[in-house]
A = this chain, B = another copy of it.
């Protein structure tokens, strides 16, 4: 499709925005990257949906001492108004200390002309 390179670039910018917001511990900006009816599917707890609950979830992560969420995009496939990103993450604490690492999948949705995280699921690979 003609708009695929643009879509890819737009999503990649959002992924950088995601990592920036994490580094700044800015749960508000992070929550704003998700779609209106986004769903988080975090390990160890039930689904989280809605902007308020998503912000609270990420604030909780930062409160636990996570200072950085490094994302390594391994695949980004775009199909019209949706896109699927698969990658690896590393959570880091103070001084870049690795806390956890694993895999994630994000289903992106184009909403009001902007790409937003729509479904977000991950799990730990067991190491750091």
Contacts and interface: CB of A to CB of B under 8 A. Distances in A.
A81 B7 CA distance: 18
A44 to B, nearest CB: 5
Interface stretch (A15-23, A51-59, A64-72, A117-125): A117-125
Interface string A29-66: 00000000001011111110000000000000000000
B82 A84 contact: yes
Contacts of A103: 41, 46-47, 121
Contacts of A84: 82, 84, 107, 119
A102 B122 CA distance: 12
Contact of A41 (B44, B47, B105): B105
Given A80-B80, A82-B79, A82-B82, A122 B119 contact: no
Interface string A67-91: 0000000000101111010100000
7 contacts: A41-B123, A43-B123, A45-B126, A84-B107, A104-B121, A105-B121, A122-B123
Interface of A: 39, 41-47, 77, 79-82, 84, 86, 102-105, 107, 119, 121-126
